[in-house]
């Protein structure tokens, strides 16, 4: 991986962590908030997409439209499963499992079926990055898991729950459910990562147009859902509440979320997805350190240790 590509992914990680911090301020309105910021992102990207089409630089082919629509479905599935996982299992199990499973599945499929052949140092570095992420997200021995509802329903939205004491049987049951939800969410992460990698390398050479169309599809599908699925009235009320009372968080996420993923899409055009996938998860490190800085979260020693491990893995990837 070249220094330029590595820089793209690391900048994307910082942007990802920052918009997650903003998303944390909005709680209990997951579907409506996701719809709101995807809708605003689609509006912001629309003029750029129109210019690309009108200028003749790119065209909206049926294959691009179909690929973007499938990408939108993968991203919505990820968002909904993430939200449900946080509702039904401990965040401390769901989140690290999902963020670890996603890159591992991506690496395995990319190597076994897509013919990618990262060098030995790059492969070792990728798994060292995942190990460092595990160190950051693991809870200290004896700490209870807290289940909470995530403040946003996509890739990357995390909200730390309030820990509460639970019995041994409850912990075991919660861990089992958390692993199951985390595995499902990680599968969707790998799905959209691999599909988007294929799309920007084989269907279109414009990640910007591809992502703009995908965002429009997400917004359209979720807008249809908010008026057709049960509980729509409550979600519509939540949507209006977000527009009225969470403007700063909405704009921050709507700008930084597409920026972060666009950088990843450009990186996937220039480097193997088996390397991009684990490196982009360094956003967990950035987000964890920001949470310590802004919200006073504990166990900074463990988090810094994990960050050092991640840096070591990234160094191997860069050198490889």
The conformation of residue 140, written as its DSSP 8-state character, comes to P
**pLDDT digit string, tens, across residues 225-269:** 988 888 888 889 989 999 998 999 999 999 999 999 999 999 999
261 in a structural domain: yes
- What's the rounded Cα separation, in Å, for the pair 11 and 244? 31
Q: Is 14 exposed, middle or buried (0-12, 13-18, 19+ CB in 10 A)?
A: middle
CA 193 to chain centre: 10
Instruction: Encode pLDDT of 78-99 as tens digits.
Output: 877 876 776 677 655 676 677 7
Q: Give this prediction's pTM.
A: 0.78
221 within domain boundaries: yes
128-169 residue pLDDT tens:
877 877 776 665 555 544 444 343 444 444 334 433 444 444
**Number of independent structural domains in the chain:** 1
Does residue 144 form part of some domain?
A: no
Q: 243 near 29, Cβ under 8 Å?
A: no
Does residue 195 lie within any of the structural domains? yes
Provide the sign of the torsion angle of the four alpha carbons 215, 225, 186, 188, taken in this order: negative
Expressed as residue numbers, the domain containing 243 is 3-139+172-319
Residue 162 lies in a domain: no
**Phi and psi of 78, rounded to 5°?**
-60, -45
Instruction: Name the residue with tokens 């729509």.
Output: 232
Q: How many helices (H) does the chain have, and how many strands (E)?
A: 12, 0
Tell whether 240 is covered by a domain: yes
- Indicate whether 307 belongs to any domain: yes
Residue 165 lies in a domain: no
Other CB atoms within a 10 A radius of the CB of residue 208 amount to: 20
């Amino acid at each position: 991986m070249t220094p330029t590509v590595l820089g793209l992914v690391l900048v994307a990680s910082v942007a990802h962590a920052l918009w997650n911090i903003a998303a944390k301020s909005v709680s209990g309105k997951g579907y409506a908030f996701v719809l709101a910021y995807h809708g605003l992102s689609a509006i912001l990207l629309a003029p750029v997409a129109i210019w690309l089409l009108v200028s003749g630089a790119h065209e909206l082919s049926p294959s691009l439209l179909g690929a973007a629509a499938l990408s939108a479905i993968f991203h919505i599935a990820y968002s909904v499963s993430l939200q449900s996982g946080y509702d039904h299992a401990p965040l401390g199990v769901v989140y690290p499992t999902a963020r670890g499973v996603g890159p591992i599945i991506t690496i395995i499929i990319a190597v076994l079926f897509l013919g990618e052949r990262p060098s030995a140092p790059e492969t070792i570095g990728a798994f060292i990055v995942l190990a460092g992420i595990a160190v950051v997200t693991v809870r200290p021995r004896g700490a209870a898991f807290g289940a909470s509802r995530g403040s946003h329903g996509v890739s990357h939205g995390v909200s730390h729950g309030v820990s509460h004491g639970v019995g041994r049987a409850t912990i075991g049951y919660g861990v089992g459910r958390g692993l199951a939800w985390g595995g499902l969410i990680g599968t969707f992460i790998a799905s959209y990562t691999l599909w988007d990698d294929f799309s920007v390398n084989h269907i279109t050479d414009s990640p910007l147009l591809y992502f703009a169309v995908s965002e429009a599809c997400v917004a359209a599908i979720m807008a249809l859902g908010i008026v057709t699925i049960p509980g729509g009235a409550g979600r519509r009320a939540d949507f209006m509440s977000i527009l009225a009372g969470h403007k700063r968080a909405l704009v921050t996420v709507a700008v930084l979320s597409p920026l972060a993923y666009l950088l990843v899409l450009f990186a996937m055009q220039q480097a193997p997805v088996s390397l991009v996938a684990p490196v982009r998860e360094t956003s967990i490190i950035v987000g964890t350190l920001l949470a310590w800085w802004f919200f006073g979260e504990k166990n900074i020693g463990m988090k810094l240790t994990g960050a050092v491990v991640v840096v070591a893995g990234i160094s191997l990837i860069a050198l490889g």
